[in-house]
Amino acid sequence: MAKTKVITSENVKLHYGDFEALHGINLDFAEHEITALIGPSGCGKSTYLRCLNRMNDLIPTARVEGDIRLRGQDIYAPSQDVVQLRKSVGMVFQQPNPFPFSIYENVVYGLRLAGVKDRAVLDEAVETSLQQAAIWDEVKDKLHESALSLSGGQQQRVVIGRVLAVKPEVILMDEPTSALDPISSSQIENMLLALRHDYTIILVTHNMHQASRISDKTAFFLQGRLVEAAPTKQIFLNPAEKETEDYITGRFG
């Protein structure tokens, strides 16, 4: 069975000035799957991830080549509305970055700016999003307190709730649990498994166990190249490339 491809990318190259950081990546993402991007630090996986919602646009020296499509639409086309793109392709960062407002305001921010004023709609969105982000029970009695008063793990889940409230199609996650303790991490992992039914998730992680536990597909990056992308089981049990095997078994030198 061939699942629908949500994002396709072909020969993606990225230059920082004269330096080529990505050497032509071909990778597709199927609907309602979790894809893990793994590889050593500096291999380009985060850089690649940031091509998918054009966050690299913020870096003046960065230049992206190749073809990236969201449901067939070229996201680097001149007619592409970047703001609209980032609404469909949400992003969660390594460090929890809640706005210095109340929990409630954090979640409804995107909606408010989109012009939603109806209190009932906003309340509803807060509850649904925070429930999906598996944080509702912990914060439902203090929605109007500062999001900064929460622990790192709670903040990260509120941030995920904030992304969900905008109803994206794809969620990019750049090492979302690497700044968190093991319990918070596993809460987020369980949440991602539940979210997979409604969203397409692309996850950069340094944690091999995390990749093997929750992802459907795994892509291994090395020095700006995509070495191998395959169903997670295959990558971990029977990788096609020697480099992948070395990395996964920790024999990487």
Partner 1 sequence: MDAKRADKLMTGVLYAVAGLIIIILASLLGYILWQGLPHISWHFLTSPAKSFEAGGGIGIQLFNSFYLLLLAMLISVPLSLGAGIYLAEYARNNWLTDVVRTAIEILSSLPSVVVGLFGFLVFVLQFQFGFSILSGALALTMFNLPLLTRNVEDALRSVSFDQREAGLALGLSRWETVTHIVIPSALPGIITGMILGAGRVFGEAAALIYTAGQSAPALNFGDWNPLHVASPLNIFRPAETLAVHIWKINSEGIQPDAAAVSAGASAVLIIAVLAFNLLARWLGNRIYRKVTAA
Contact residues for partner 1, defined by CB under 8 A: 53, 55, 58, 60, 83-87, 90-91, 93, 95, 97-102, 105, 109-110, 113, 144-146, 148-149, 159, 162-163, 166
Q: Which residue has the tokens 């990749």?
A: 211
- Check: CB of residue 205 under 8 Å from CB of residue 174: no
Report in angstroms how near the CB of residue 145 gets to partner 1 at its nearest.
Answer: 6
Which residue, 86, 225, 230, 56, is CA-closest to 162? 86
- Check: CB of residue 145 under 8 Å from CB of residue 93: no
CB nearer to partner 1: pick between 58 and 77: 58
| CA pair distance 26, 28, nearest whole angstrom | 7
CB nearer to partner 1: pick between 36 and 150: 150
Q: Which residue has the tokens 């999001």?
A: 147
Report in angstroms how near the CB of residue 162 gets to partner 1 at its nearest.
Answer: 7
- Quote the strand ranges of 40-85, DSSP E: 62-70, 73-74
Report in angstroms how near the CB of residue 115 gets to partner 1 at its nearest.
Answer: 12
CB nearer to partner 1: pick between 145 and 198: 145
Helix/strand/coil for 145: coil
Plot region of 242 (φ>0 → left; ψ -120 to 50 → alpha; else → beta): alpha
Report in angstroms how near the CB of residue 100 gets to partner 1 at its nearest.
Answer: 4
- Cα torsion through 27, 33, 39, 44, rounded to 10: 50
CB nearer to partner 1: pick between 112 and 209: 112
Report in angstroms how near the CB of residue 98 gets to partner 1 at its nearest.
Answer: 8
Report in angstroms how near the CB of residue 57 gets to partner 1 at its nearest.
Answer: 9
CB nearer to partner 1: pick between 73 and 97: 97
CB nearer to partner 1: pick between 166 and 180: 166
| CA pair distance 78, 76, nearest whole angstrom | 6
